[in-house]
Structure 1
Amino acid sequence: MVQEVCRHGARSPTTFMPWDNLLIWPYGPGELTPEGIRQHYLLGTALRQKYINELKFLSPNYNQSEIYVFSSDRNRTIISAFSQMQGLYPPGTGFQLRSQAMETIAQPPINVKNLQKTISQLSLNPLPYLTQVIPIHNDEIIRELALNPSSSCNYYDYLASYKMTLPELQNIYNKYPDVIDDIQKCLVVSKSKAQSLARKVSDSVIANNFINNPLPCNFSMSFITKVQQLAEEVKNYNFFEPDFLARLAGSAIMQKIANNFYMKITMNYTKKFILYSGHDTTLSFMLAFMGYTMTGLPPYASTLIFELHEDKMEYYVTLKYNNKDLKIKGCGSVNCSWDEFLRFVEIRSIPDIENACLINTSQVLQRSLRVALDDVFHLPGDNGGSLKWYFWISVSLYLVLLLMLILLCKRKFLVENLGE
């Protein structure tokens, strides 16, 4: 079984800066560009070459029992998934009408202009060029939670927003005074405003630079490098640190990956290829969940590909990030045994993630927030967290119950003996 989690392709800036407009970005803010569509189509052709042409793993024509595609509910991720599937099953691989009679029978109950001309052009092809359309799903809450937790996990969003109010954030901005100064001069804003706009400026200049647009405000390539580093540090601080945040954000998607493999091993589960189309944060959350240090955000159209292999009734999992092997922590080698992989995901996951995300944040005290965001705060499975608060609470409760049981037994013994 193969499971791919990808970032959408190249897009327009999610927020237009003064130098952005609809002439440059006619599709609007945050939308997939033709370049992004091309990226995912080519990614799909690479997958077809490997899993269909070389390994004969998937059927050469789309088979709904083998493929499942899910996307977060954003235009750019849905179109990315569709484009990738066009590469995996390109025009010419679709199924034709069952008979020539269907050319006239397969019509909608309305008048169609130029009907005969269209039928003649299509012949037995349902769509031009025998195009194969593959469904893209985004109807389950848990999957949206898995792909876009920063906007769908209430507790995570609350903690991340709270972190942005802490003084530690200012320490990051203080490391890049020249970047903040350049933004101030360009946009004619205050220092604090320039700091709050730094990530949006970074997003815009990266998108513009990708399609070779002239850089605004005479920004240099050095500025782009530094503002990107600043944006990455802020994002890492805000989204992935400490470890509890990474685990809270990554639990849902990693549980889905493990559960799909589990169904493949233990049940008659026919799916062989599952695609999750998400965002840069989706991949970053997963990498942070797996304990990798975040050194740069995943580029457009990045992929994490998990493969489940069987060798003489033994199962193991491999992981590739942008076609490079990654060793899953807690595993003896790149070929991670199924037991090791499952144990790792179970230990790292936040139990009952759906309810954890629905926590009533209005009842969360400031002290609790600080504890949740303190590096010494751990749940079972954290590195170095084998004997933390939850352990001592469990032991204390056990001792209290044991003491109560002893007292009850003693009382019963005394009553019986006094009665005699």
Structure 2
Amino acid sequence: MRPPGPAALLTLASLLLGPAAAAKELKLALLVFRHGDRSPIETFPNDPYQESAWPQGFGQLSQLGMKQHYELGKYLRKRYSTLLNSTYHRNEVYVQSTDIDRTLMSAMINLAALFPPEGSSLWNPQILWQPIPVHTVPISQEQLLYLPVTKCPRFEKLQEETLMSKEYQNLVSPYKDFIATLPALSGLHIKDLSGIWNKIYDPLFCEKTHNFTLPPWATPDTIAKLKELSKISLMSTFAIYKRKEKARLQGGILVKNIIDHFKNVANGSSKKKLIIYSGHDTTIGGLQIALDVFNGKLPPYAACHIMELYLENGQYNIEMYYRNDTQQDPYPLTLPGCTTSCPLKQFTELVSPIITEDWSKECFGLSEDQVLRIALAAFCLSSGVLVVLLFILFRYGPCRKRNPYHSI
């Protein structure tokens, strides 16, 4: 008797696996990644390597960072070869970045590998690249990707409470003697852990990556302690104390945006297949802490948080993965209270405590009357109306009548 051929084996496999396996279809991939390797954003006063030591100055994407994102783009092309067309199509792809050089450049390089031109998109045979839009908004208006969102009184209050909390003090207490030695070594007056993270640990990390000679005091033990304090700084920003309320003002904004994209694809109002957000370590950290799936480690360069929407047997499910190592496949993330493949409806219900419908009201503690007045003021200013008219409107107009604190 002859052994079964390939076609028979495929038929047998499909029967054994059942219809569910064949019915699973990827409908949308949404990616949030960190930029690639860069120069320090700033450094400590005693650092012999100031901005002139870096080819493009502080905070700029390095050639290593370019290679990291080109590699990520190639991986994504392979992962989504069946989801995406071989060529870029504007109705299917949307890319947004923070308005920072390194994130914009990372997105562009990633897209160069993800959508190499071919066929009708090959506009110059000598340049295997095609322009693909990367959208952005000014940092002053950014509330989605540049985390933490500043100018939020309620969040500032939460941060003050966090630094006074027992949970935070217990984490920092073992390092107090070490922290006391840093001003003399670095020349930096330490105000909080964010200064240690951004102005001491980060520049030393960048210098080590690029084979600079570190100062004698920057021993492996010192670097390890600085890294741990940097992690505590990240956690104190988005967690440790009143995590869910912080999430409503920070990473929860991005979570809501993601859920909206998934719902739009599920109800047929969107044709998007791929959405890319290019951000920072705090973008990924804020998102993962809001979702309560953070692994406790600072997100490395070109780290990528993956969220995929699948249609399986008439039901939409969300799967999450995290790629933080180019040598290993992304590992699955499971939203607490759900399974690895979580139904969209259940996912939405589980994250509802960290989603706000009125960020300004929660952030500023505004009444409806105050929200109306601010909106009216913004409209008048954007329309070029004189400030005098705005003053008259507030003093004598309808806003005055609704102000419960105005003494008659």
Shorter-chain TM-score bucket reads: 0.7 to 0.9
Per-residue deviation, 1:174: 3.6
Task: Name the SS of the counterpart of 1:223 in structure 2.
Answer: helix
- Percent identity over the alignment is 29
| Alpha carbons 2:154, 2:364 under 8 Å: kept | no
Residues in 2 aligned to 1:257 and 1:276: alpha-carbon distance in whole angstroms = 10
Q: Corresponding residue for 1:69?
A: 95
- Matching residue of 1:211: 210
2:296 corresponds in structure 1 to: 295
Distance 1:297 1:196 in 2: 13
1:123-142 pair list within 5 angstroms: 125=124, 128-139=126-137
3-state SS of paired residue (2:307): strand
Compute the displacement of 1:183 (Å): 2.2
Partner of 1:158: 156
TM-score by length of 1: 0.71
Question: 1:191-210 residue pairs with structure 2 within 5 A?
Answer: 197-199=195-197, 200-210=199-209
- Tell whether 2:36 aligns with 1:9: yes
Amino acid at match of 1:301: A
Please say which of residues 178-187 and 276-285 is displaced more in the overlay: 178-187
Question: Residues of 2 paired with 1:87 and 1:256: CA distance?
Answer: 26
- Would the alpha carbon gap of residues 193 and 155 (structure 1) be closer, same or farther in structure 2, given more than 3 Å must change? closer
State the partner residue of 2:386. none
Secondary structure of 2:335's aligned partner: coil
- Identify the residue that residue 19 of structure 1 maps to in structure 2: 48
Question: Which stretch has the larger CA shift, 64-73 or 291-300?
Answer: 291-300
Following superposition of structure 1 onto structure 2, how do residues 16-165 of structure 1 map, counting pairs within 5 Å?
A: 16-17=43-44, 18-52=47-81, 56-90=82-116, 92=118, 95-96=121-122, 125=124, 128-139=126-137, 144-152=142-150, 154-155=152-153, 158-159=156-157, 162-163=160-161
What is the alpha-carbon distance in structure 2 between the residues aligned to residue 167 and residue 262 of structure 1? 38
Structure 2 distance, partners of 1:2, 1:195, is 35
When residues 187 and 250 of structure 1 are mapped into structure 2, their CA distance, relative to the original with a 3 A threshold, is closer
Give the C-alpha shift of residue 205 in structure 1.
Answer: 1.2
Superposition deviation, residue 344 in structure 1:
1.6
Asked if the contact 2:234/2:282 (under 8 Å) is kept, the reply is no
The one-letter code matched in structure 1 to 2:268 is M
Q: Highest CA radius of gyration, 1 or 2? A: 1
> How well do the aligned residues superpose, as a CA RMSD in angstroms?
2.9
Task: Please give the alpha-carbon distance, in whole angstroms, between the structure 1 residues aligned to 2:179 and 2:299.
Answer: 24
Offset from partner CA, 1:18-46 (integer Å, 9 cap, x none): 23324431212222211111111110000
Structure 1 residues 96 and 324: alpha-carbon distance in aligned structure 2, compared to 1, 3 A threshold = closer
After superposition, the C-alpha distances for 1:141-164 in whole angstroms (9 at most, x for unaligned) are: 999312124244524652355347
Shift of 1:49: 1.1
Q: Is the 8 A contact 1:67 1:272 kept in 2?
A: yes
* Matching residue of 2:282: 281
Would you say how many aligned residue pairs link Structure 1 and Structure 2? Answer: 328
Q: TM-score, normalised by structure 2?
A: 0.72
Partner of 1:382: none
**Alpha-carbon distance between aligned partners in 1 of 2:220 and 2:332, rounded to the nearest angstrom:** 31
**Contact residue 308 and residue 319 of structure 2 kept, 8 A:** yes
8 Å Cα contact 2:248-2:356 kept in structure 1: yes
Q: Counterparts of 1:324-363 in structure 2 under 5 Å?
A: 324-331=331-338, 333-359=339-365
Consecutive unaligned residues in structure 2, runs of 5 or more? 1-27, 324-329, 368-408
Partner of residue 230, structure 1: 229
Residues 364-402 of structure 1: per-residue CA shift (max 9 Å, x gap): xxxxxxxxxxxxxxxxxxxxxxxxxxxxxxxxxxxxxxx
Provide Cα deviations, 1:308-330, integer angstroms capped at 9, x if missing partner: 01112111110001111011112
Change (3 A) 1:189 1:304: closer
- Structure 2: how far apart are the matches of 1:174 and 1:300? 29
Q: Which runs of 5+ in 1 are unaligned?
A: 98-124, 362-420
- The residue aligned with 2:14 is none
Bigger shift: residues 309-318 or 181-190: 181-190
Deviations 1:5-25 (A, max 9, x none): 111111111112323324431
- Assess if the C-alpha contact under 8 Å between 2:152 and 2:363 holds in 1: yes
Deviations 1:301-349 (A, max 9, x none): 1111100011121111100011110111121x21111111121222331
Alignment check: 8 A CA contact 1:302 1:321 kept: yes
